[in-house]
Amino acid sequence: MMDDVLSPTNRDDDKEREFAPLDILLVDDSVVIQKLLASLLENHNIETAGDGKAAVTIMKKERFDIVLMDVQMPEMDGFEATAAIRKTEEGHRTPIIAMTASAATDDRDQCLAAGMDGYIGKPIQPDDLRRTIEQFTQSHSHSTSASSADESFSSPGIGASSDVIDLEMARRQIPGGEQGVREMAQFLLDQCPTMMMEIQQALTARDGKRIQRAAHSLKGSTDIFGAKHVVGVARRIELAGKRGNVNDASEAMPELREQVSQLRSALAVTAAAEPH
């Protein structure tokens, strides 16, 4: 019996299970964040949902090893989605990890009270993501492409940081070295008009919650590149929407447009940089 346990064949089987890819449900309303996390988790089987309601529907039909759940989303937020998922689970509890930009104790307590198992801060750091997934799945697989992200430090060809974007911050978060950063810069560049349009439409509708969500999405997406000025103005608009103060949010839009314009120019330069 002991020989069977210690046999090379059994050890190989254990190793195969240890490095088996995980089935992960990624729930976030930002397609930019979805793309980033899908790149970091490229060794796993990823399914995405754009809001909590869609996540609940998917969870009724499929089983996952872990769920990464954004907190603030349209239709149904991460807290509501988690509570709904917990009510439908039968004999199996899937780890649900909150992704939140807030590190406040009250927010963390709310995550756990809603039925979430843990939380990870935004902007997402590859090492934090890997450790969290390993913690809640007992997996030691290659959860993220953190090594690819680290390699980018030795590749300064995409240029230096500026007052508009922080490329060192981007390199720490985005896998794939220079090419990965260029591709993400182009993707964010393409998505900026859509995100700005969503904020403007929410303002026109004078819908505070929609303003909050749209500004939150822009804030989280641009924070990948450390776009501190865009993030700062978007945060103000987000808070104004949360308070229902549409006028304050509207007054901040000219500044946001200017900052996003500068960001897009910087992203265009980064995306077009020649490989070294």
Q: Give how far the C-alpha of residue 232 lies from the chain's centroid of Cα atoms, to the nearest Å.
A: 18
Question: What is the predicted pLDDT for the residue at 180?
Answer: 94
Please state whether the predicted TM-score (pTM) of the whole model is above 0.85.
no
Do residues 117 and 20 both lie within one domain? Answer: yes
Same domain, 41 and 115: yes
Same domain, 122 and 164: no
> Domain for residue 153, yes or no?
no
List the end-to-end C-alpha distance of the chain, in Å, as a whole number.
Answer: 57
- Domain co-membership, 121 together with 207: no
CB 158 within 8 A of CB 167: yes
Q: What is the pLDDT of residue 92?
A: 85
Q: Are residues 177 and 140 in the same domain?
A: no
Query: How many domains, in total, are found in the chain?
Result: 2
Residue 58 domain-assigned?
A: yes
Per-residue pLDDT reduced to its tens digit, 222-256? 999 999 999 999 999 999 999 999 999 999 999 99
Residue 147 binned pLDDT confidence (cut-offs 50, 70, 90) = very low
Please indicate, yes or no, whether residues 220 and 252 belong to a single structural domain of this protein: yes
Give yes or no for a contact between 43 and 17, defined as CB atoms under 8 angstroms apart. no
Report the b/e string of 199-237 with b at 16+ CB within 10 A.
Answer: bbebbeeebbebbbbbbbbbbbbbbbbbbbbbbebbbbb
What angle, rounded to 10 degrees, do the helices at 31-40 and 208-222 form? Answer: 40
45-49 and 66-70 beta bridge pairing: unpaired
pLDDT at 104: 56
Give residue-wise pLDDT tens across range 106-131.
677 888 888 999 989 888 889 999 99
Shared-domain flag, residues 171 and 254:
yes
* 14 and 122 assigned to the same domain: yes
Verify that 136 and 180 share a domain, yes or no: no
Statement to judge: residues 19 and 125 lie in one domain? yes
Q: Is the pLDDT of residue 16 over 70?
A: no
Distance CA 176, CA 269 (A): 18
**Among candidate residues 24, 84, 26, the one with its CA nearest the CA of residue 53:** 84
Query: Do 111 and 201 sit in the same domain of this protein?
Result: no
Local confidence band at 150 (pLDDT 50, 70, 90 cut-offs): very low
Sheet architecture: strand order including 66-70? 45-49, 23-27, 66-70, 96-100, 118-121
Instruction: Report the pLDDT value the prediction gives residue 246, as an integer from 0 to 100.
Output: 97
Does residue 100 sit in the same domain as residue 166? no
Count CB-CB contacts under 10 A for residue 108. 17
* Final residue belonging to a domain, choices 144, 176, 192: 144
Domain around 130 = 2-144
